[in-house]
Amino acid sequence: MRIKGMTYFLAALLFLAPHVLYAKAGVLLFPTRIVEPDSIRNIEITLKNSGDATGKYRIDLEDMEMLESGEIKQLPPKNDYAFSGKQLLRVSPREMTLKPNETQSIRLLVKRNPKLPDGEYRSHLKVLLVDGEVDEKSEHKDSMDTEKKGSGFNISLNVRQGVSIPVIIRKGKTEYAVKILDVKLKQENGKPVLDMLFERQGNRSVFGDIKVTDSSGKVLKYFAGIAIYHPTPKKKIILPLDVAEGTKLSGKLHITYTEQDKDGGAQMAEKDLEL
């Protein structure tokens, strides 16, 4: 009888699990990157609750740096980052509550500061889902209190989701130069992988797409949206090629790094690798 009772308990728990795991608010931001001149005064970003429960959100600006490995690391709130976008940006509102599929605009005010040198000023807009079950907690508060006093059980998962996007303001004259310093072909799990080192110079970030072709012009890899943020001087990029396991490459590989079409589509760097 005890085993049978435990079986019913587990069955009930499994029945409840989908609701506990998936009845949550979500976070969706559009656009996913902002790049504007300092002549613009207002920027609007759309936040959508992509989940199926009401969510409460907190909005802030934070400074982040890109390491040579490509990892994005948050800087402490008080830092000496000379090109922080916080010097030019003000965000409103700081908090909001959205129902499922509801959207609301986040407004950024861009302030002019003639004392700042020309260059690129970057911070990241972070939206944190601080409560993904607003309605559920309100509706079931009394029953939850009863469970705590009685012999019932309660499952509570509070995983905070966060999404951040770069917000870049360019002041005055900005320029860049990109080089592919080194390319090595390696094998990982029987498949070829390119290990590349990029160098960025100048006072602005770069965004582009990498394409790898063989001697016949066949595309072996296309990877879109690779960023190298100012002031990071070098970035290591590792790309597995889209070829069958055990494929032996020969001849020459041609690697290009090109602006995305919306930015003009100019080729920023290229390099050949003789095999």
What mean pLDDT comes out for the span 83-109? 97
- Residue owning tokens 């970057």: 122
pLDDT in tens, 196-233: 999 999 999 999 999 999 999 999 999 999 999 999 99
Cα separations (Å) of 181 from 158, 192, 236, 270?
Answer: 45, 19, 10, 10
Task: Provide the pLDDT for residue 253.
Answer: 97
Task: Provide the pLDDT for residue 136.
Answer: 59
Higher pLDDT, 150 or 93: 93
- Strand-pairing partners, residue 237, are 196
- pLDDT higher than threshold 90 for residue 164: yes
Q: Which residues of 180-207 are buried (b: 16+ CB within 10 A; e: fewer)?
A: beebeeeeeeeebebebebbbeebbbbb
The CATH number of the structural domain formed by 176-274 is 2.60.40.10
Domains of the chain by residue range: 2-171, 176-274
- pLDDT higher than threshold 80 for residue 73: yes
- Please give the Cα distance from 166 to 64 (Å, whole number): 9
Q: Which residues of 213-224 are buried (b: 16+ CB within 10 A; e: fewer)?
A: bbeeeeebbeee
In this structure, which topology does domain 2-171 adopt according to CATH?
Immunoglobulin-like (2.60.40)
Task: Provide the pLDDT for residue 133.
Answer: 74
Higher pLDDT, 3 or 90: 90
How many other CB atoms sit within 10 Å of the CB of residue 245? 8
Task: Provide the pLDDT for residue 131.
Answer: 86
Same fold? 2-171, 176-274: yes
- pLDDT higher than threshold 90 for residue 9: no
What mean pLDDT comes out for the span 78-82? 84
